[in-house]
Amino acid sequence: MFEVKEYEDKYKIYELSDTESNSYIKVCPERGGIIIGFGINDTEMLYLDKDTFYDLKSSVRGGIPILFPLCGQLPEGTYELDGLEYSMKNHGLARINNWQVVDKSSEDNASITIKFQSDDNTKKSYPFDFEFILKYSLKGGKLNISHEFKNKSDSIMPMSIGYHPYFNAKDKTNVYYDTNATKLLDSNDMKVKPYSRENIDISESVESKVLLDHVGNSFSFNLKDLNRKFTFTYDDYFKYIVVWSVSGKDFICVEPWSAQNSSLYTKKDLININPNENLKMNLSIEVEV
């Protein structure tokens, strides 16, 4: 019923499958621990630009990149911490580093556990000793992501966490967002606006739109192209939903973030982990056929 298999596609890929629900996910630890495929009933849900995936010098455009310890970008690419200045690339370190496989299982579900940990290179951008352990589990067409952050430093470790899923979509105007949000931040003009179906159209937008006040621990949206409903379920740490795309590209990104853009710079919404303590949280994505 459950299987974890390995194959090569320039990098080693781990494919987790559930035969009963006819679903799978594909994970590439070498490319930032990214999920590059999520399918059910022979339909691939995720967009992936293979050229960016194969090119180690490029940020992968597609799949489900992991955003840690920064969501978004920094002004001039820098931030200050304890009187010192550090630089960091957009969306942080996790998505541009190699992750280590810790465990695999096909017993009660199909799962893989991977780890990203600090080294001399990460400390140039983020001066902490840490371990970030992720477990991807698949069962019944539902992807669960369990997180454990370990601060192995002697000082408080500030961070944010988010995901950047690219869903296949040609029609970006006919998307139903099941939200109780009343306002959004339009990053195209940096204005906070009352939420409405009309002002979340991102088909021609350059920058993202951020739902600021969605209440609850789940968020759903329907894509006409795939005839599927997607539901995120998450812990309280995930406060914002970011919607983004690129004109002329067949994808829409619907992204759960714990903090808004530039949190390491603004110091807003940061999750602070005490020295030598751990933090656990969960997020899932379920597909309703």
CB 106 within 8 A of CB 129: no
Report the predicted TM-score, pTM, of the whole model to 2 decimal places.
0.97
Q: How many beta carbons lie within 10 A of that of residue 98, not counting itself?
A: 13
The dihedral of CA 277, 64, 289, 252: what is its sign? positive
- Dihedral, 269, 58, 28, 151 alpha carbons, nearest 10: -30
CA 69 to chain CA centroid, Å, is 12
Q: What is the pLDDT along the chain (289 residues), one digit of tens a residue?
A: 999 999 999 999 999 999 999 999 999 999 999 999 999 998 999 999 999 999 999 999 999 999 999 999 999 999 999 999 999 999 999 999 999 999 999 999 999 999 999 999 999 999 999 999 999 999 999 999 999 999 999 999 999 999 999 999 999 988 999 999 999 999 999 999 999 988 898 988 999 999 999 999 999 999 887 788 999 999 999 999 999 999 999 999 999 999 999 999 999 999 999 999 999 999 999 998 7
Per CATH, domain 2-288 is 3.30.565.10: no
The pLDDT value given to residue 173: 87
Return all residues near 67 (Cβ < 8 A) that are at least 6 apart.
91, 92, 94, 95, 160, 161, 162, 163, 164, 255, 257
Helices vs strands, H then E, count in the chain: 2, 25
CA 216/CA 209 separation, integer angstroms = 19
CA 246/CA 202 separation, integer angstroms = 8
Q: What residues form DSSP beta bridges with 253?
A: 166, 244
CA 119/CA 97 separation, integer angstroms = 11
Domain boundaries, the chain: 2-288
The pLDDT value given to residue 198: 81
Token pair listed for 108: 């009660």
